[in-house]
């Protein structure tokens, strides 16, 4: 069944291929093949959405083996892939785009929101937002070298008072050929803390005629629906909250009238704190197995620990679960510890204060 009602996708993304208005955010160390594979099990049947990678340095992509590098590992069946690049020079961007298209990208996203020092030093990430004409040039050089759509992920420039500045920045990107823009309305100074100013998503969507993806502080399926309805944006992108509850895809699909995910016909998405806690436990065990399969023992341990550190904040006694994973010496030990932790009821809260 197709999406019902008025939530999202007023303007087509990927030439109308996307029919589901929620996607995962690019996150270093988290948005990888194992998490995507786990999350796809919760995507409603016949729903199509976009799937990012973590940010990839355009100076490195040309010389990397994309089939083997952990950040670009992909499963053969993966569709809708939209890898994200960091960059500001035409030659590496052109080579990166070419290789990513061969790898299977359906669109290329440019990171203009990363506030970490390393990105600022090289004048990419959010540094580009301080130089609108150069940012537009980066989009132009990417589009010129790409046969697939190019999008840009940006941050807020400041309060809603500075909206005109944001709008003219975004129009510069659009006039250079960006197909859509994702706005994370926290300022660079806020990093990822505090609340995201959804009002800016609403204003931006109203002011332009191309697709806008809204991002920031979506912790539940209800939040995703609220963002879509309150801001009118075309898609909601969720990072930490969706990583923690991959079944948010199923929950939102249920609300929007999509069929359940394959293999879950006749079942209802978990909704209570106890059911969600139990689902988190099942997901974590799957994630450990998938991470081992894709990354091997050592890297799997590091990736899973980081996952648990970021996502266990929604669990009652989540820090104890992190302790279990930090102490384990092998993924098998980790699995045994996780199984034990979830033997009794574990509650998952709908919302928490996001600090990292
Ligand atoms: C651990 C971590 C790594 C991140 N890495 C990236 C990245 O590679 N590229 C990017 O555009 N944003 C990155 N972000 C920002 C997220 O994409 C997103 O904008 C932010 O987390 C806000 O969404 P949320 O409140 O739903 O988590 C990262 C966020 C986290 C928590």
Mutate to test the pocket of ligand 1, among 22, 23, 24, 25 (most ligand atoms within 8 A of CB): 25
Mutate to test the pocket of ligand 1, among 85, 109, 192, 236 (most ligand atoms within 8 A of CB): 192
pLDDT of residue 3: 47
Predicted TM-score (pTM) of the model is 0.96
pLDDT of residue 129: 86
User: Which two structure tokens, joined as six digits, stand for 114?
Assistant: 């990363």
Residues forming the active site: 114
| 111 CB near ligand 1 (under 6 Å) | yes
Q: Provide the CATH topology of domain 22-256.
A: TIM Barrel (3.20.20)
| 25 CB near ligand 1 (under 6 Å) | yes
Nearest atom in ligand 1 to 113's CA: 11
pLDDT of residue 120: 75
Quick one: residue 257, left, alpha or beta (phi over 0 = left, psi -120 to 50 = alpha)?
left
Which protein residue has the closest C-alpha to ligand 1 atom 29?
A: 27
pLDDT of residue 305: 98
Query: What three-state secondary structure class fits 157?
Result: coil
| CA distance to 80, 120, 168, 262, per residue, from 48 (Å) | 7, 34, 31, 13
pLDDT of residue 292: 98
pLDDT < 70: residue spans in the chain: 1-6, 160, 191, 355-356
| 238 CB near ligand 1 (under 6 Å) | yes
Which protein residue has the closest C-alpha to ligand 1 atom 19?
A: 184
Rounding to the nearest 10 degrees, give the CA dihedral for residues 85, 89, 94, 96.
Answer: -40
Domain ranges of the chain: 22-256, 273-341
Sheet with 51-57, strands from edge to edge, namely 22-24, 235-238, 212-215, 180-184, 150-155, 108-112, 81-86, 51-57
| CA distance to 4, 235, 250, 326, per residue, from 253 (Å) | 10, 13, 5, 34
Burial group, residue 167, by CB count within 10 angstroms (0-12, 13-18, 19+): middle
160 Cβ neighbours under 8 A, 6+ residues apart = 197, 199, 200, 203
d(CA 251, CA 311): 18
């Amino acid at each position: 069944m197709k999406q019902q009602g008025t939530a999202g996708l007023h303007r087509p993304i990927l030439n109308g291929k996307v029919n589901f208005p929620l996607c995962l955010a690019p996150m270093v160390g988290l948005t990888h093949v194992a998490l995507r594979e786990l999350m796809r099990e919760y995507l409603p049947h016949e729903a199509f959405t976009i799937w990012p990678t973590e940010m990839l340095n355009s100076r490195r992509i040309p010389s990397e083996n994309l089939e083997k590098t952990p950040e670009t590992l992909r499963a053969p069946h993966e569709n809708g892939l939209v890898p994200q690049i960091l960059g500001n020079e035409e030659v590496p961007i052109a080579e990166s785009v070419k290789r990513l298209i061969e790898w299977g990208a359906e669109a290329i996203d440019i990171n203009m929101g990363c506030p970490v020092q390393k990105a600022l030093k090289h004048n990419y990430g959010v540094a580009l937002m301080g130089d609108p004409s150069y940012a537009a040039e980066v989009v132009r050089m990417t589009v010129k070298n790409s046969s697939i759509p190019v999008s840009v992920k940006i941050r807020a420039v400041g309060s809603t008072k500075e909206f005109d500045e944001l709008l003219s920045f975004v129009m510069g990107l659009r006039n250079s050929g960006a197909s859509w823009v994702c706005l994370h309305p926290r300022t660079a100074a806020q990093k990822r803390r505090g609340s995201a100013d959804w009002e800016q998503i609403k204003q931006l969507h109203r002011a332009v005629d191309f697709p806008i993806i809204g991002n920031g502080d979506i912790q539940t399926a209800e939040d995703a629906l609220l963002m879509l309805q309150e801001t009118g944006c075309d898609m909601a992108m969720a990072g930490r909250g969706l990583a923690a509850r991959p079944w948010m895809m199923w929950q939102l699909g249920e609300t929007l009238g999509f069929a359940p995910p394959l293999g879950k016909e006749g079942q209802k998405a978990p909704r209570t704190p106890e059911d969600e806690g139990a689902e988190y436990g099942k997901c974590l065990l799957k994630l450990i197995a998938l991470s081992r399969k894709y990354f091997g023992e050592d890297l799997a341990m590091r990736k899973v620990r980081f996952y648990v550190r970021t996502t266990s904040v929604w669990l009652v006694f989540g820090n104890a679960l992190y302790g279990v994973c930090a102490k384990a010496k092998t993924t098998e030990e980790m699995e045994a510890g996780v199984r034990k932790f979830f033997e009794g009821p574990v509650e998952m809260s709908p919302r928490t204060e996001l600090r990292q």
